Structure 1
Amino acid sequence: MLWRISRAFQFAADRYIPDSFVFCVILTLLAFVFGLVVSDGGPLKLVLGWYNGLWTMIGFAFQMSFMVICCGAAAKAPLVERFLARVARMPSSASVAMVVMLVFGFVSSLINWAFSSILTPIFAMQLSRNVKGLHFPLAIAAGYTTMVLGQTWCPSASVYALVATKGHFMEKAIGIWTQDVTVYNPINTVLFFVMVVTVILLGVYTKPPANELITYQPKEEPAIAATVARDEQETLADKMNSSRVLMLLIGLAGLAVIIDSFMTKGIIKSLNFNFVIFMFLTLNTFLYNTPSKFVTAFKDMMRPAAEVMLQFPFYGGIMGMMTSSGLAKVIAGLLIKVATADTIYAWSFFSAAFANLFIPSQGGQWIVQGPILMEAAKALNANIPLVMNAFVHGDEVTNLIQPLYVIPALALVGMKLKEVWGFMAFICVFWLVIVTAGLLILPKIMM
């Protein structure tokens, strides 16, 4: 039954969901049209807002692209592929493989979202190669869900980290809220683990018939461990290009930085976005132990990273239009006006879910919506941490239909958006229904 329902979503995706860049352009046009309706500034103001917004994501675009390159090169190294293949052969069935992958995804997402977003699809790729009966598009969609859902119970999520920091922009209005109150409050904890169980059950019991099973099909690629041909006329330049000493020195320097950070800050606190990328960069200096191998490996991963580099600035443009038109504030304001003390949490969830389609940045979205939501929460004497939880769930749930953060994973495994979007939307519906019910019922029982 679950497969038939999910297949309906995927059938629609196959017919109507374009490539991820076209999807981004359509969202841009929608933001422009909606902005014209609510803004008095006219088309030029929106276009200028789009232009200014493009450049807000340039740094993030490079970070994400570099992460795809570094992590992809590491994943395709012969030594790593042999290790992952050995681990992937351990599950005895597709159901066990799915559970192992999803548990790995949830645990890694609570440590660091970048780890989860890259390592989970790589693990899924190896599992699909080695375990019969594992539907690869569903595995990618469910694995991506673990990263997204993990942010709702992760202390380093943007909103939770921000409101726990002294001097944050709303400190005078709401004060400081530490993660033990915001992240780990009982209602948010119940919602998180109910959704964890739901995603695992969906992954295990959504089973395709044999004739519809899709496994991972690797594309033929040139070997990335290229070496410089040596002969009697080998030049000094050739010797430097194939020098293991040069890569060893860079690798040892990288190890020194990593060890120092772990000893001074601790492992978990060290794992910010740049540090995760740096760890994979350092790993590659040992996996590809000459400059020629190292450069060749990175060149081969440039193509998958191109879509990431292109699309992230366009999403910045959408954010710029939303901000310049005031559309996000209008949406939040309209929804909050109809809220009551009992429904404020559900309306916060819905408003964040809709706004996230156009502002795919939790921190940026909170700057726009946070003050409105907090003002409404105080006016209705609502539980402020739970309003934050509802916002974070809303911000994350529509990441399953707004494809920005799945693009790096798709680039790594060589898939198109439409191949996984239907399964992501299928899971999204369950998340929307369960969390909405939870936000309406649990506050009456547990507060």
Structure 2
Amino acid sequence: MHLTNFIEKVFRRYLPSPFTIAIVLSVLTIVLALFFTEPEAGENHLFAILSYWEAGIWNNGLLVFAYQMMLILVLGHVLVLSKPMEGLIMRITKYVNNTSNAALLVALPTMLVSFFNWGLGLIFGAILARKVGEHAQAKGIPINYPLIGASGYVGLMVWHGGISGSAPIKVAESGHLKDLMHGASTASIIGSLPDSISTGLTVFSISNLVIFGTVATAISLLVFFMGKKIPPTTINLETYQFKHEKKEKLAGAEKLDYSKIFSTAFALLVLGVFLLQYLPAMQTLNITPNMLNFFMFGMALLLHGSFKSFLNAVEEAIGDVAGILIQFPLYFGIMGIMAQSGMIGQISDFFVSISNDVTLPLFTFLSAGLVNIFVPSGGGQWAVQGPLVLESASQLGVPLPKAIMALAYGDQLTNMLQPFWALPLLGITKLKAKEILPYTLIFMFFGGVIYIVGLLVF
């Protein structure tokens, strides 16, 4: 407990809000570029760096990326708020009879759902943990509620290696790699990059599936046996209400908002177009952000059963993306400076000088975990660190899929330490960060060992 109290105090005292951190990092990057890069002949170096920063902020391709990531989070949250998902959560809670099986029943489904979509898994795990706590309270079942809350957050330790992972899903898009590296590397390295890297080589690779399966199994067993050892805690929760549309007296065109037939028909149209457009890519296991979002859009409409219910859920979920909306452009500005000023080449040369084809993935993993403390967003981290990883891997001959997954593993692991994405869960479960940190730190240790071994074995 002393360690977790210390960590919480450090985050509170020395780490401001993620938005403020993004601004501090932007200023720091400007200063570093000014002192450690060389100006082109005849240019004002400071003005040039500021120009790189402004151009990076409004990079069209990266702004599309930000919107894709926002949709992944919002549509995942919207799916959780549908009645079928509510029914699934309530059915799971019926099997709870002690801390051990409660933790297992929260952790394993949360990791499986998070592998599909991190936004879905984040809110699913939070609501499932809350409902398990309410069920235990109503039935008089003694459980350790903080462990249950931590189990509902563990999906954030597997998400980046999953289908909605920012790095693997983005590199599956045609042309993204070369667009990201444009101006950041030499023509020979950019020319050697593939047009895309299929998720069949990253998310659905044998190595990643084995690593995910090992993590999911190990953490599930861990929470089960931890539940046998730790004492129960007091629970005092009110009933969490799922928000659905209220039946009102309708007139005229308002009926379309509540029409189950109209909503279902349009949802089926979306899913039909999805199959026509993306079936060939699905057969090769090549998942892209647009494909995932289009599918979730159709499924959300179908499961909500009316446009009104869907829009109510969107309104509730939209607050999740505030950080992405305002922080991502700042990260893009940092990437713009690093790419255009030559900093990416300098940093990648340093990593190449201290690494080889075996150790580079480990350095990437460890550095990604550290960067995630300050850039608590997989998408933002890919924009900043992605070019460094691609440049270093290309120089040392490390397979790009392995380097990308090393970044993904490092980014997701330290979510168990960085409380930013835990905020929605803490709000829903009514727990405090210091209550779940003792358990998430244990998860981080066990997961870290598995990821490091996986990178060495594969």
In 2, distance between residues paired with 1:294 and 1:372? 40
Residue number in structure 2 paired with 1:160: 168
Which amino acid in structure 1 is aligned with residue 32 of structure 2? Answer: V
> How far did 1:338 drift?
1.3
Does the aligned pair in 2 maintain the 1:38–1:325 contact within 8 Å?
A: no
Q: Is 1:141 aligned to residue 150 of structure 2?
A: yes
Q: Is the 8 A contact 1:97 1:127 kept in 2?
A: yes
1:70 aligns with 2:78: yes
Cα distance change of structure 1 residues 16 and 363 upon mapping to structure 2, 3 Å threshold: closer
How many Å separate the matches in 1 of 2:351 and 2:32? 15
Structure 1 Cα separation of the partners of residues 422 and 368 of structure 2: 19
Partner-residue secondary structure (3-state), 1:340: coil
- CA deviation string 1:130-175 (max 9, x = no partner): 24344444334333333541432x3564443455555453473243
* Offset at residue 89 of structure 1 (A): 0.9
**How far off is 1:129 after superposition?**
1.9
Alpha-carbon offset, residue 261 of structure 1: 4.4
Contact 1:151–1:157 (Cα < 8 Å) also in 2: yes
Match of 1:283 among 303, 306, 325: 303
2:259 to 236, 247, 253: 247
Deviations 1:72-102 (A, max 9, x none): 643xx6x865663243112333212322332
Name the CA distance, whole Å, in 1 between partners of 2:33 and 2:442.
34
Aligned to 2:40: none
| Alpha-carbon distance, 1:9 to partner | 4.6
Correspondence for 1:173 among 176, 185, 192:
192
For residue 148 of structure 2, what is the amino acid of its counterpart? A
SS at match of 2:177: coil
Superimposed CA distance per residue, residues 283-306 of structure 1 (whole angstroms, 9 cap, x where no aligned partner): 3345x9xx6x887x559x64x743
Shift of residue 424, structure 1, vs aligned partner = 3.6
Aligned partners of 2:204, 2:101: CA distance in 1, in Å? 29
Contact 1:352 1:391 (8 Å CA) reproduced: yes
| Alpha carbons 2:264, 2:301 under 8 Å: kept | no
1:105 to 110, 118, 130: 110
Query: In the alignment, which residue of structure 2 is the partner of 1:351?
Result: 367
Instruction: Provide the residue aligned with 1:11 in structure 2.
Output: 5
Could you say what the CA RMSD is over the residues aligned between the two structures, in angstroms? 4.5
With over 3 angstroms needed to count, the CA separation of the structure-2 counterparts of 1:334 and 1:219, relative to structure 1, is: farther
Secondary structure of the corresponding residue to residue 272 of structure 1: helix
Deviates more, 1:414-423 or 1:254-263: 414-423
CA 1:336–1:369: 2 relative to 1, 3 Å:
farther
Q: Which runs of 5+ in 2 are unaligned?
A: 35-44, 179-189
Residues 129, 184 of structure 1: alpha-carbon distance in 2 compared, 3 angstrom cutoff: same
Q: Distance in 1 between matches of 2:455 and 2:144?
A: 33
Number of positions where the alignment pairs a residue of Structure 1 with one of Structure 2: 414
CA contact (8 A) 1:348 1:373 kept: yes
> 1:432 aligned to 2:448?
yes
Distance 1:384 1:43 in 2: 35
Q: Distance in 2 between matches of 1:181 and 1:102?
A: 27
**Equivalent position amino acid for 1:202 in 2:** L
Identical residues among aligned pairs (%): 19
1:399 maps to which of 415, 430, 446: 415
Normalization by structure 2: what TM-score?
Answer: 0.70
Q: CA deviation at 1:48?
A: 9.3
1:289-328 equivalences under 5 Å are 302=316, 305-306=318-319, 308-326=320-338
Q: Which secondary structure does the structure 2 equivalent of 1:205 belong to? A: helix
> CA 1:342/1:33 → structure 2, altered by over 3 Å: closer, same or farther?
same
Unaligned runs of 5+ in 1: 1-6, 231-237
